[in-house]
Structure 1
Amino acid sequence: MKKKIVILGGGESGVGTAILAKKEGYKIWLSDKGKIKEKYKNVLEHLEIDWEEEKHTESQIFDADVVMKSPGIPDTVPMIKALRAKGIPVISEIEFAAQYTSAVIVGITGSNGKTTTTKLTHHILKDGGLQVGMAGNVGDSFAKQVAETNAGYYVLELSSFQLDGIEKFRPHIAVLTNITPDHLDRYEYKFENYIEAKFRITKNQTKDDYFIYDADDEVITNWLKTNKIEAQLLPFSLERKLENGAYLENDTIIIKTENTELTMATSDLTLQGKHNTKNAMAAATVAKLLKIRKNTIRESMESFQGVEHRLEKVLKINNVQYINDSKATNVNATYYALESMEGQTVWILGGVDKGNVYDELLPLVNEKVKAIICLGVDNTKIMNSFGNCVETLIETQSMSEAVKMAYRLSEKGDTVLLSPACASFDLFENYEDRGRQFKEAVRNL
C-alpha cells in the first residue's frame, strides 16, 4: 500500500514537498484554501498530482497517513487540531525532506540576522568547493532540492514556524543568532513559547553535533542555564574573551575551535555594523568546523555582497542617501538599522503590528531621527510612541507618497531609511514587494 501524504498549502514548500513525495512513491493530495499561483499549478499538472484550491475537502484530508502543512498555517487552526486529535502526524517540509537526504545539514535560526548568516555561510562553503544547497526561508524549497540535486551539504534558514513542525530533524550544526520578541501573535502572546520554538533546532542534536549561539544574548544564556543541550557549545561574543568559540579583540575577530585559531580584521568585512560582525562570526565558525581553509573564509567574507532589502543602499540624491531595510519586520531589526545610521535620518516605518513594543528605540530616535513617516493602515501605536520625540510625524498610505514626503523633508547629508519594524501585509504582498516599491519610488524621484 502506498502511503498517503496530504499537503496543506500550494506555495514553495508545498509544491517542493509534492515533488519529493512523488519521487518517493507517495499517494499525494495537495490542498490550498487560497488560490495557487500558475507556475505552481503547472508543476502539479506536469507531475500528475491531485490538487484543489480555494477549499479543503475534509474526506481527502482526514484520510492521510501524514500531513505536511506550510509554515504560514498556525497550529491553532481547527483542522490542524482535529488532525492531531486523530493521531495523524502533522509535520513541516523540513522534517519531511530531511529523512530523504544524508547530506550534512547546517540549520540557522534567530529573530534577526538569519538570512544574512545563511547566505554568508552558503557563500563561504561554496567558495570552499563544497556541493552545497541553500533552502528553508531562502531559495528553492528544501524538499525540491533534495529531490532534484545531490548536494553533500545544506544550509537551511529556519523560522520558528518551520521548527514547530519538526520531530526527528537533526542538524549537524545549529546556529541561533539571537532571540527577541517576534511573531508573538502565533505563540499566544507568550514570549516563552516563542523561545521554546527557537530552541527546537537543537532538540535532537547529540554530542557529535555543534550548537553556535550569541553569548551576549540574555534570553539565550538564561535558557541555557536551566536547560541541558547535548551538542557541543560554541558561543560568539563582542563583549568577552572566550576559551572556545568566537570573540572580538582590538577590532579583530578570533575564532577558536578544536584547538585551532582563525583571525580576521573587522575592517575587511564587506558588511559593517555590530550585528554583522556577529553574523560573520557565526558563519565563519560553521565554515571552520567544516574544514574550509582559513584564506578561503577570509576572501569570502571580503567578497560577500549582502542581502537585498537589508540595509541596502539604493541611491544618493542631492547628497541624501536612501536605504532599503524592508526586511526589518520587527523592532529589534530596526534597532540595528537605526544604530548604524550616521547623521540625521528621515525614518519610514509601519505596517502590521505583531505585538510591538517601541520603548527600546526611543533613545536612538531622540538622537538620530529628525522626521517620521508612517506607512501603514493603522499608525496609532507609532504616533503614540514617537509623537513626543520628533517635530515632524506624517501619515501616508502608499510608498510613492512616503518617498516623495521623505524627499521634501530631507536635506544634504541626511539619510532616508525605510525600516518598517512591522510586517507588510496591510499594503504590500510581502517585505520584498515593499522593498522593491521603495527602490522604484526612489528611482522615480
Structure 2
Amino acid sequence: MSRKRLTRRQFVAATAMSSAALITAPYVRGAYAAGKLSIGFWDHWVPGANQASTDLVNEWAAKEKVEVSIDYITSNNKKIELTAAAEAQAKSGHDILQMPSWWPHAYSENLEPLNDVMEPLIKQNGEVNGTVKYLAQSGGKWLAVPATPGSQIKGPCSRIDLMKKYANIDVQEMYPAGGPPKADNWTMDTFLKAAEACQKGGFPFGIGLGETTDSVDTAGAIFQAFGAELVNAKGDITVKTDQVRQAMEYYKKLIAFLPADAPSWDDASNNKWLISGRGALIMNPPSAWAVAKRDAPQVAEQCWTHGFPAGPKGRFAPFLPYFWGVWSFGKNKEAAKSLLVHLSSPAAIEKFVSVSGGYDLPAYANLTKLKTWAEEGPPKGTLFHYPDPYHQQTLSIAASPAPPKIAQQIYFQATLTKMGLRFARGETLEQALAWAEGECEGFMRS
C-alpha cells in the first residue's frame, strides 16, 4: 500500500485505539471484491489518526484481496477541494474521495448513488441527523456517506471558573458529565447577559466575526435559533422577515461585547484566544482544548464543552461534516462500497473517535455515547456533551435550508457575518437587509 502524507499543524496527542472487532460488509457479491482501489482521505490534524484509517483499510484489503493505495490530502490552501474539482473535471482520479460538507451537491452529477450503502448503515447505526441528509441527499439518492474523521460540532467551550465568577453560571451543573443537560435556563438571553458580564470582567467571549468557517458557523446557529432564513427551502429570498430582523437585533447586541478585532479573526483566532487565557467562552470543536492541554494545562483543566443556548425556535449546534464519495467514473465501485461499509461499522467508528481524542464525530444517532467522550480530560468528562448524547440540539449548518447550491454561496461569502457587521457599524437595519437581499439575488443568478 502506498501512502502520501502532507503535513499540517498538529494539535493533540493520539489516544489508545479501540480493539473492538469490525463488522463485515453485508452485501459484497462473491468471495472477494478483488482488484485495485484508490482512496483520497482528508489528512487528519491529530497525530496517529491517519494511521487508524490506514489500519482499517489494510484489514479490509487483506480480507477482500484488494490492492489499495491511499493519499492523505491536506485541507490547507483548499487542497482537498482543488483535488475534487480536478478529478471531477478530468473524470479520473481516486475511486473514493473524502470531501467537505458542501461538495456532494456540487459534484452530484459525478457521484455514484450510495443508497445500497446508506440504507443498511442507518439500520445498523441509527438515523443520521438532518444536516447530513440535507448535504448528502438529492432526488432520493444518497450522494455520499458521512465520514467520521473530520466531522465536528462547533459548540461552546466555556471556562468553568470565569463563567462562575463573572456570569454566575455553573456550566458543569448545567451540563453534568454522565447525565442529561439541565439547561432550561440556558437561553439566548442568558447567553447575551453572560457575554456582557464576562466582557465587563475583562474576559470577553471569543466569537469571531470574520469570513472563515468558525465565524460563519456561529452566526448560522444564532440566526437559526430565531428561525431566520435568508433563502428558504423553496429557493425564495426571505431576508426581509421579522425573524431575520429579530436575529439581526440580537446579533448587534452580542457584537458589542466581543473583542474589538473579532471582524478580522480567522479559524485559528478563537483557539488562540482560549489558550491565552483571555476569554471565557469560544465556539469550537475540542481542538482548542486539546492544544491547551498541551501548552496551557491551567486553562485546559477549566474548560467544559456543552450545548448552544436555546432561542425562540430551538437549540442549534453548528455541525460541519465530512463525507466519503464514490466517483461514478471510478474503476472499482463495488469494492469502494464494501470499504465504506467497513469504515462505517460501530467498531471502526469507535476507533476513529478514540484515536482522535474525541474530536471526530459520527453522524449516527446510536453512536453518541462512546466511552472516549466520558473519559477524556482534564477535567474528566469535559467532552461528554460534545456529541450531543441526549439529542437535545438540532445539528445545523449555516445558510440552510436554502437549496444547497445557493446556501453554499451564502456560506462561503460570509453573508451572515457581513450583514451583522454592517448593522453593528452604523448602517440601518433596512440598509443591511437590502444589501443582503441584493447578495442573495446575485447568488440566484450565478
Question: Which structure carries more relative contact order (alpha carbon 8 Å, separation 6+)?
Answer: 2
The structure in which a higher percent of residues are helix is 2
Q: Which of the pair has more CA radius of gyration?
A: 1
TM-score, normalized by length of structure 2?
Answer: 0.28
TM-score, normalized by length of structure 1?
Answer: 0.28
